[in-house]
Structure 1
Amino acid sequence: MDKLNGRNTLNSRVFFLFFQWAASGITHVVCPSGGNAAIAAAYCAQASGLACTVVIPEPSEASVRRRLSLEAPDTKVVVHGNDWLEALHRAEQLVSDLQNTHSSDPTVRLLHPFDQPDLWEGYEVIIDELTPEVGQPDVVILPVGGGGLLAGVIQGLWNRGWSSTHVIAVETEGADCLNRSMKAGQLLMVPRAASIATSLVAPMLAHRSWNLAQLQSLTPATCTDVEALDAVRHFLDDHGMLVEPACGAALSVVYSGIVGRLQLEGRIPRPANVVVIITGGRNVSLRQLSEWENQLSPFGSSDHMTTAPFLPPMANPYITRTSPHSSICSDLMGKQSVGFGQQLTQDHDETLKIGTSSPSTRAVCTILNRPPTTTNSVDLHTSSTIDRDGNSDNGTLNPHDLVNFSKLLAHSEAEGDDGLRE
């Protein structure tokens, strides 16, 4: 539960680094970020007595400014570009200009949010913090953006002699640099990476992370933004903790059943000692969560999602058989259904994906379970069972129900289906 560390973010591990910089004479830190790292850097700089400038892309401005006004109001915010890569170039230029201005006393340092060896060493401590009762994990599940956390965790496993531990590295679609690189067999750049999980939006992996990923027993997995949000909701319901979509990406693997699939394929043992790194994050709120869900919903707002009342998502990841007549319902739910019932698909390169639609349940003619009544109870309550049209309902199956149900059964048999037609 790295979420429980200071500032609810794993990047708060830069505390020690900032104090080292302050002791060496550094007075100003510049950090390019899509959101989460900027908040952590600003807070750590304030605590260690350093000036801090964060450079963020325009899409992240509102949420980051709101958080910084609470966490570190003295932080200077520079808004530049539409993505993290443009923000990085602006931050590098800013550091260069400041260093040229104070050439005799270079007191400005760039903090790269993931390609920073000092941060990797900080992330190694996560493995050291595993208690003796936990021991060596069979599986470690973690989210991947630029790969800083991935590099640190793998280094930590190797330091403990646990190189046999399997790592499941989860990315969101649209920002899946590791997944695409594994497919191509070489490190690739995603120039326009996009996802609501801004902490995972990076154009490419750190070279160190890429090299370690090829040497480690590792499975790359991808999820959609909708699936990440669904996992955030599940975790909030289960544990009462609100985490960022980046953390939801890692949790989506747990809720979708990928671990069980890997066990069936023999990649990891059964039972397995599984560790999920709950990174948490600070750049999230219930209002943001609702806004994201409305943004991703094809209906624009969850209040207008007409499919939910009659086609709820299934709650069992092992039920995979669906009705042959479920295509219409599946099309309606395809872009918004997410949860335990999702089927998993596997690419030729063995990259795991969480399915984008849930198996639909059969829409059968359901007769409400009305309790049988006795003659006396009918006499006592006759006045209460007369509806506005003068019809009476004594709790028994009326002829109209029988006729409709018989017609439905006959129609189903004529279609040759083994159940009722949807």
Structure 2
Amino acid sequence: MTPDPSIHRGPDLDLHIQTPLIQSPILSAGQQEVWLKMEAFQPSGSFKIRGIGRACTTYAQRGAARFVAASGGNAGIAVAYAGRALSIPVVTVVPQTTSVKACDILRLYGAEVIIAGANFNEANRFAQSLLRPTDAFIHPFDDPHLWSGHASMVDEIKASNIRPDAIVLSVGGGGLLAGVAEGLNRQGWGHIPIIATETYGAASLHASLQAGKLTSLEEVATLATSLAAKQICGQAWEVCQTNKVISARVSDAQAVKACEAFLEDHRVLVEPACGASLALAYSRANELADLRKIVIIVCGGATMSPQMMATWLEQTSSARCD
């Protein structure tokens, strides 16, 4: 595999780009300013390239001959992108539910795609069975290198001279939460609240906070498949003990409707996992009341399409009318 000169490499081989932080005149109201950290503009289509790029470059420097990942979504695509940029082969194991579009994107970046298992857990077990001594396994959310890479978005927010009263983000496995908390802490902003948003059908963080301990859901059921983790990672739970984390939940219908509104208002197509956070702003949620400056991480969604959004809008239309 030869290096791809069309892929940008930043300082220290970081594979992400610095993304815009823009104020939304539509979501801002009165004295409240809503700022959007546009991670949907990352070259792999989501924030994942920040952490996964950091992990892949680190393991490459340590001599990894191949990257192995289990993900049919944003994380797998970020690994494939990083492998192409670093000239390292990638094997991505995806569950049977993975869309054709996702598999096509993975192959576009040169990854070998193996379909195995009915869900992520089964695909993950199969991926682990493929590991050789010279391979590096790239976890989608539970790796300190990922958290360190994701923390860089907070560095960019501070460099823009915007000091938020809260940061809103979506939570699946908790890698983004762990990374943003790391960034806040190292910038001396550890007191700034993080509003962690989930859909009702995948609210593992909320369940853990309610139980007072790290808790696993028996099942997940949500259209926001990027949030469909039965349990957040241990580091995300630790963040809840050291930082102010406010749990928020929205319905699938609210998340999808927010995607539709965001496309109309900002001309950017994002997935329901991202729509979950945006839904708080569109609904003027109580969690955002009394906050003057809010930053929302617009995390993206590499596999989203207008056809998928139309289907989900139809599926949730009755729920929106209730």
Q: Distance in 2 between matches of 1:285 and 1:91?
A: 27
Q: Unaligned regions of 5+ residues in structure 1, if any?
A: 100-105, 265-269, 299-334, 338-356, 358-422
Superposition map of 1:312-323 within 5 A: none
Match of 1:7 in 2: 44
Percent identical pairs in the alignment equals 35
Q: Which residue of 1 aligns with 2:217?
A: 190
CA RMSD of aligned residues (A): 1.7
Shift of 1:61: 3.9
Please give the TM-score of this superposition, normalised by the length of structure 1: 0.64
How far residue 81 of structure 1 moved from its aligned partner, in angstroms, is 2.0
Contact between 1:34 and 1:199, CA under 8 Å: does it hold in 2?
no
- What is the alpha-carbon distance in structure 1 between the residues aligned to residue 121 and residue 161 of structure 2? 39
Q: Does 1:24 align with 2:51?
A: no
CA drift of 1:162 comes to: 1.0
Verify: 1:250 aligned to 2:290, yes or no. no
User: What's 1:78 paired with?
Assistant: 114
Would the alpha carbon gap of residues 294 and 24 (structure 1) be closer, same or farther in structure 2, given more than 3 Å must change?
same
1:135, 1:294 → 2: CA distance? 38
CA distance in 2, matches of 1:59, 1:28: 25
Greater C-alpha radius of gyration = 1
**Aligned residue pair count:** 284
2:311 aligns to what?
291
Segment of structure 1 superposing worse, 172-181 or 113-122 = 172-181
Q: Which runs of no fewer than 5 residues in structure 2 stay unpaired?
A: 1-37
The structure showing larger relative contact order (alpha-carbon pairs under 8 Å, at least 6 residues apart) is 2
Structure 2 vs 1, CA of residues 271 and 224 (structure 1 numbering), >3 Å: closer, same or farther? closer
Q: Against the structure 1 CA distance between its residues 79 and 133, is the aligned structure 2 distance closer, same or farther, given a 3 Å change threshold?
A: closer
Q: C-alpha displacement at 1:273, in angstroms?
A: 1.3
- C-alpha distance in structure 2 between counterparts of 1:204 and 1:16, whole Å: 24
Q: TM-score, normalised by structure 2?
A: 0.83
2:90, 2:288 → 1: CA distance?
Answer: 46
Residue 169 of structure 1: which of 174, 178, 196 is its match?
Answer: 196
Structure 2 contact 93–114 (Cα < 8 Å) conserved: yes
**Counterpart check, 1:67 vs 2:105:** yes
Structure 2 counterpart SS, 1:156: helix
Which residue of 1 is the match for residue 207 of structure 2? 180
Q: Please list, as runs of the form range in 1=range in 2, the aligned pairs for 1:2-401 lying within 5 A after superposition.
A: 2-13=39-50, 14-69=52-107, 71-72=108-109, 74-95=110-131, 99=132, 106-258=133-285, 261-262=286-287, 270=290, 272-298=292-318, 335-337=319-321, 357=322
How big is each residue's C-alpha offset from its partner over 1:332-364, in whole Å with a ceiling of 9 and x where there is no partner?
Answer: xxx133xxxxxxxxxxxxxxxxxxx4xxxxxxx
Supply the AA of the counterpart residue of 2:298: I
Separation in structure 2 between the aligned mates of residue 6 and residue 91 of structure 1, nearest angstrom? 25
Q: Report the Cα offset of residue 93 of structure 1.
A: 1.8
Contact 2:54–2:145 (CA under 8 A) maintained in structure 1? no
Higher strand share: 2
CA shift, 1:292, in A, is 2.1
The whole-number CA distance in structure 1 between the counterparts of 2:138 and 2:246 is: 29
The residue number in structure 2 matching 1:379 is none
Q: CA deviation at 1:19?
A: 2.6
1:78 alignment partner, SS class: strand
Structure 1: how far apart are the matches of 2:56 and 2:124?
20
When structure 1 is superposed on structure 2, of 59-68 and 213-222 the one drifting more is: 59-68
